[in-house]
């Protein structure tokens, strides 16, 4: 059986997980052999293929609509776990808590290294139900195990670094931000935007109640010229809720659901918009301290942003002269409308676009961020097997 330098795994729809793909691509380019394991919606059987020097396994994850039982979803996760346990590697890199059990076990059995990459913070129940509280408690325990037992820990921003350090007594956590690849030349892609109107763009996962979609749609009532375009994946229930809220506010003709785009196109898609939206809601500490790929994608596209006034996103939105964006209270439609109006009516709007692009090129791009990841692996296991064979 081939021994890889790195086995990376994530429970989730792998084709659209930009962070995971950026990480494994950087490591492969640095000379490490990589096996990547994840899930894929609308897949009938396990798929095995290679992307450049990365060997990929995708396990069926049920229909994209989300109409799948908990038993079916559990079986999918177990199949992914079995693929992890079969993989022979020098390092097991767990993306979030869902892959921690098989990856930690594999690292122990094979005397390998274990890396925990926490995209989220865990431990807060989604409701007061016994089931949700039990799941949250189990997730927190797995997070604790992962952070304390890992040879290295990674998370997405300094606020989350601080939380994990305090929670689990773990120093030296590496911050690896959710930033896009450096795009030297942005060629705008129009995915179907309405013509000659201001475009408020949201791109990414569509979670109707966990993001301020309803509040943003209500804000459109006082922004009669603005069209709200949503580019991303959402389950049928979430899409129906958005359509219903748009009808209630009598703005259906100005709310457009265009479907997902490949992550390598998102910067180019954003470039055709007027304003980029980051509508996080304070439903948990994880959300409050969140950052997001879309925030940095907008900047790379040279698009000003309007964003929830939460610590990590606000720290980015306030950067630049003029500032690259404005912030709002995500629970107040009037606040959202005011932030959007301030950007689109700003006499210095074009300067904001220039500043957004400048900030992205200088600071908020993967070329800057990946240095920490490659350095971490050099410290963990030295040179990659392909690098030592002269295969770079």
Return the domain boundaries, the chain.
3-177+367-388, 199-362
Rounded percentage of the chain residues whose pLDDT exceeds 70: 97
- The DSSP code for 280 is B
pLDDT tens sequence across 198-249? 999 999 999 999 999 999 999 999 999 999 999 998 889 999 999 999 999 9
pLDDT tens sequence across 116-167? 999 999 998 877 889 889 999 999 999 999 999 999 999 999 999 999 999 9
- Fold match, 3-177+367-388 / 199-362: yes
For the question of whether the overall pTM of this predicted structure is more than 0.85, the answer is yes
Strongest mean pLDDT among 14-18, 52-56, 282-286, 332-336: 332-336
Confidence (pLDDT) at 121: 96
Superfamily of domain 3-177+367-388: Glycogen Phosphorylase B; (3.40.50.2000)
Instruction: Determine if the peptide bond prior to 322 is cis (ω within 30°).
Output: yes
Angle at 302 between CA 301 and CA 308, to 5 degrees: 90
Tell me: pLDDT of 390 over 50.
Answer: no
Residues facing 175 on adjacent strands: 155
Task: Specify whether domain 199-362 bears CATH 3.40.50.2000.
Answer: yes
Tell me: pLDDT of 386 over 80.
Answer: no
Q: How confident is the model at residue 1 (pLDDT cuts 50, 70, 90)?
A: confident
The pair of structure tokens assigned to 192 is 């179907």
Tell me: pLDDT of 391 over 60.
Answer: no
pLDDT tens sequence across 77-127? 999 999 999 999 999 999 999 999 999 999 999 999 999 999 999 998 877
pLDDT tens sequence across 58-71? 999 988 766 667 78
CA proximity to 147, closest of 121, 126, 125: 121
CB 256 within 8 A of CB 192: yes
């Amino acid at each position: 059986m081939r021994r890889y330098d790195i086995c990376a795994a994530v429970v989730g729809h792998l084709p659209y997980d930009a962070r995971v793909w950026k990480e494994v691509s950087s490591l492969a380019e640095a000379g490490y052999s990589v096996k990547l394991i994840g899930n894929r919606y609308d897949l009938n059987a396990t798929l095995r293929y290679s992307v450049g020097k990365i060997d990929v396994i995708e396990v069926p994850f049920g229909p994209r609509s989300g109409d799948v039982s908990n038993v079916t979803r559990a079986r999918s996760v177990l199949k992914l776990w079995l693929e992890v346990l079969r993989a022979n590697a020098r390092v097991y890199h767990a993306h979030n808590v869902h892959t921690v059990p098989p990856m930690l076990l594999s690292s122990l059995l094979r005397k390998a290294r274990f890396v925990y990459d926490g995209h989220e913070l865990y431990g807060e129940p989604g409701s007061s139900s016994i089931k949700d509280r039990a799941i949250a408690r189990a997730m927190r325990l797995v997070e604790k195990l992962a952070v304390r037992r890992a040879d290295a820990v990674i998370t997405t921003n300094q606020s989350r670094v601080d939380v994990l350090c305090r929670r689990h007594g773990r120093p030296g956590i590496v911050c690896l931000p959710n930033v896009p690849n450096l795009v030297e030349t942005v060629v705008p892609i129009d995915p179907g935007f309405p013509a000659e109107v201001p475009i408020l763009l949201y791109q990414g996962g569509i979670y109707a109640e966990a993001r301020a979609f309803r509040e943003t749609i209500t804000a459109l009532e006082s922004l009669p010229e603005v069209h709200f375009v949503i580019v991303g994946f959402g389950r049928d229930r979430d899409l129906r809720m958005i359509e219903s809220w748009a009808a209630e506010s009598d703005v259906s003709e100005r709310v457009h659901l265009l479907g997902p785009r490949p992550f390598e196109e998102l910067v180019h898609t954003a470039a055709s918009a007027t304003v980029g939206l980051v509508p996080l809601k304070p439903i948990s500490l994880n959300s409050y301290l969140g950052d997001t790929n879309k925030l940095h994608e907008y900047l790379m596209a040279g698009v000003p942003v309007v964003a929830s006034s939460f610590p990590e996103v606000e720290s980015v939105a306030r950067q630049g002269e003029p500032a690259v964006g404005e912030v709002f209270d995500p629970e107040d439609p009037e606040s959202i409308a005011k932030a959007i109006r301030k950007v689109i009516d700003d006499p210095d709007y074009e300067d904001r676009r220039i500043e957004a692009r400048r900030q992205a090129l200088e600071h908020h791009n993967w070329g800057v961020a990946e240095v920490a990841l490659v350095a971490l692996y050099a410290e963990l296991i030295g040179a990659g097997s392909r690098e030592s064979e002269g295969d770079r």
